[in-house]
Amino acid sequence: MKVIIAGSYQTRFGELWERSLLSLLMEAGQGAMKDAGVQASEIDLVVVGNKLGGRISEQDHLGALMADKLRVKGRGIRVEAACASGGIAVHQAVQAIKTGEAETVLVLGGEKMTDKNNGVVGAALMGAASEEERRTGLSFVGLYALMARAYMEKFGARRRDLAKVAVKNHKQASLNPKAQFPREITEEMALKAIMVAEPLGLFDCSPISDGAAGLVVRGVKTKKAGKREVEILASEIATDSLGLNERESLLEIKATKEAAGRAYVSAGVGPEEIDIMEVHDCFTIAEILALEDLGFCKKGEGFKGIDKPVNLSGGLKACGHPVGATGVKQMVELTHHLRREAGERQADKADMGLAHNVGGTGGTAVVHILKGSI
């Protein structure tokens, strides 16, 4: 049996002050079911990926809520793994299908972040960090700044190399109507922008965002590939220590390497066969580390970039990062390309795609490999 993506949908990402978490998840769920051409009565399970519902929207019980509101036949659960909540939700859906618990699963990822001020949101996000990091007063931008500093010192990368990642992702977001920042920036703008945590400036950081994404994932027995069908070849997760202080190295995210290694084995492909990827660029340094840890280049060379399309959606950086939605949105984006439905930003070659979603600074990593049927 293979597991396929039958439908996908992403809401607009941004400061959506007129929208609630529920309304965003509803739009994503209804959109994904419509795209798949399935009725709510055909859904066996709803898996919702969300991190901050309890802290921001005073609603934790999202699994039952969405199953009820969408009037699905089956049941609902919510999963949480920090910023990898969306990726974990997809993984749970794949597991449920593989074990025979469900045949058709609606995966939702969503986050409503702009209803509270930055202090509250920042403190809530630190729920993904270790006790020691919280006590030290670090924030996520501070933690990634430590990784960036270590990387720059070791490999001679400069702030300009980080800026190139932001410039690329903003340019790609300019073609994405769902992106929070569909505007191009220049390297000079990025370098002159206000410093957030040395060496990470404003344009090195992904934003606080609202948004949701949905996928209909199905188990199918026929080997024949259906029209617009995207197969999930691999769905792997790995976990590591929450705190950077317990890591062997600041120069890599071990969980990414582990999840990717297993995913390549599981899919029976290597990085050279991947055409497009959506990687977790919560900060510019994170994209550079991801390219290396996913095996697209050697360690210490990620800052030079690679010659494959990376984050055509604009990434977390410019498409936006509603944390629970991100892992699902990455797969929605890949699905568009693998179906040749990505419009202006369609990748020229798009047979195989990889989605890489990280929780915290690498406490969780999720890697999915997708294959198109066109």
**Residues lying near another protein in the complex (CB under 8 A):** 15, 17, 114, 117-118, 193-195
In 10 A of CB 250, how many CB atoms? 18
Instruction: State which residue, 207 or 309, has the beta carbon closest to another protein.
Output: 207
Tokens of 238: 């790995």
Q: Report the relative pairing of strands 200-201 and 195-197 from DSSP bridges.
A: antiparallel
Residue 370 and residue 230 in contact, taking contact as beta carbons nearer than 8 Å:
yes
E-state strands within the chain = 2-10, 45-49, 75-79, 104-111, 195-197, 200-201, 211-220, 230-239, 276-278, 352-359, 364-372
Nearest residue (CB) to another protein, 17 versus 222: 17
Smallest gap from Cβ 56 to another protein, in A, equals 13
Cβ contact 356:284 at 8 Å: no
**Which CB sits closer to another protein, 31 or 207?**
207
Per annotation, catalytic residue among 83, 205, 282, 319:
83
User: Catalytic: which of 170, 280, 321, 368?
Assistant: 321
Task: Report in angstroms how near the CB of residue 184 gets to another protein at its nearest.
Answer: 20
82 burial class (0-12, 13-18, 19+ CB within 10 angstroms)? Answer: buried
Name residue 93's amino acid: A
Closest contact distance (angstroms) between CB of 145 and another protein is 15
Q: Check if 321 is active-site.
A: yes
Identity of the residue, 186 or 245, whose beta carbon is nearer to another protein in the bound complex: 186
Smallest distance, Å, CB 32 to another protein?
29
Q: What tokens appear for 146 in the block? A: 């430590």
In this structure, the chain runs to a length of 374
First to last CA, the chain: 20
Say if CB 170 and CB 183 are below 8 A apart.
Answer: yes
Active site residue 356: no
Contact present, 109 and 86 (Cβ < 8 Å)? yes
CB of 221 to another protein, least distance (A): 50
Looking at the Cβ atoms of 56 and 366, the one nearer to another protein is 56
**Comparison of 247 and 321: residue with beta carbon closer to another protein:** 321
Q: Minimal distance in Å, beta carbon 208 to another protein?
A: 9
Q: Which residues are catalytic?
A: 83, 321
